Structure 1
């Protein structure tokens, strides 16, 4: 039997970008689903990681995902 996969595209309320991965939960209200990248950014912001370093970290994460 052929497996059917349905992907739902969602729009992140924080950055406005479309995403299809499992959402992260915003640390701001602990209720709003946001894209994984914004979830990572919020976590890094909570540790006072500056925006430039956040982008470097996200680039590494994206590169590793492509290699899986």
Structure 2
């Protein structure tokens, strides 16, 4: 059986940006699927990491993923 490798692009309901990676489950309601970046931001917000540091952490994650 041949598999279909179509990439599905989803729109994040939190930030409104398109994404195609595996979604994260929002901590806000434990039901809504959000993009991985917003999932990371929600986790960091839960431990009081400020916006500037969140941006730095996400930049590091993105650089690391590109290097794989």
TM-score, L = length of structure 1: 0.94
Root-mean-square deviation (CA, aligned residues, Å) is 1.2
Q: For residues 1-26 of structure 1, give each alpha carbon's deviation from its aligned partner in whole angstroms, at most 9, with x where no partner exists.
A: x8641110000000000000010000
Partner of 1:27 in structure 2? 27
**Which structure 1 residue ranges, 5 or more long, are not aligned?**
none
Cα separation, 1, equivalents of 2:46 and 2:3: 40
Residue pairs, 1:49-60, within 5 angstroms? 49-60=49-60
Hey, which bits of structure 1, 4+ residues long, moved more than 6 A?
A: none
Task: Figure out how many residues of one structure are paired with residues of the other and give that number.
Answer: 67
TM-score, L = length of structure 2: 0.94
Which stretch shows the higher mean deviation, 2-11 or 29-38?
Answer: 2-11
Q: For residues 29-52 of structure 1, give each alpha carbon's deviation from its aligned partner in whole angstroms, at most 9, with x where no partner exists.
A: 000000000000000000000000
